[in-house]
Structure 1
Amino acid sequence: MDTSKHNLANLFAQLGLENSPEHITQFIKKHRIADDVLLSEAPFWNEGQRHFIEESLREDADWCELIDELDAMLR
Structure 2
Amino acid sequence: MDIGSHDLAALFGQLGLENDEQSINRFVESHQLTAEMTFLDAPFWNSSQVELLQQAFMDDAEWAEAADTLATLLAASAK
Alignment partner of 1:29: what SS?
helix
CA distance in 1, matches of 2:3, 2:54: 21
SS of 2:40's partner is helix
Between the aligned partners of 2:68 and 2:37, the Cα distance in structure 1 is 13
Aligned equivalent of 1:54 = 54
Q: Give the distance between the partners of 1:3 and 1:38, measured in 2 at CA.
A: 30
Pairs aligned (count): 75
Partner of 1:71: 71
How far apart, CA to CA, are the structure 2 residues paired with 1:62 and 1:20?
Answer: 20
Specify every segment of 5 or more residues in structure 2 that has no aligned partner in the other structure, as ranges.
none
Runs of 4+ that moved beyond 4 A: none
Q: Which residue of 1 aligns with 2:37?
A: 37
In 2 relative to 1, CA 57–43 (structure 1 residues): closer, same or farther, beyond 3 Å?
Answer: same
- TM-score scaled by length of structure 1: 0.92
Taking structure 2 as the reference length, the TM-score comes to 0.88
- CA–CA distance in structure 2, aligned partners of residues 31 and 70 of structure 1: 11
RMSD of equivalent CA atoms = 1.0
Gaps of at least 5 residues in structure 1 are none
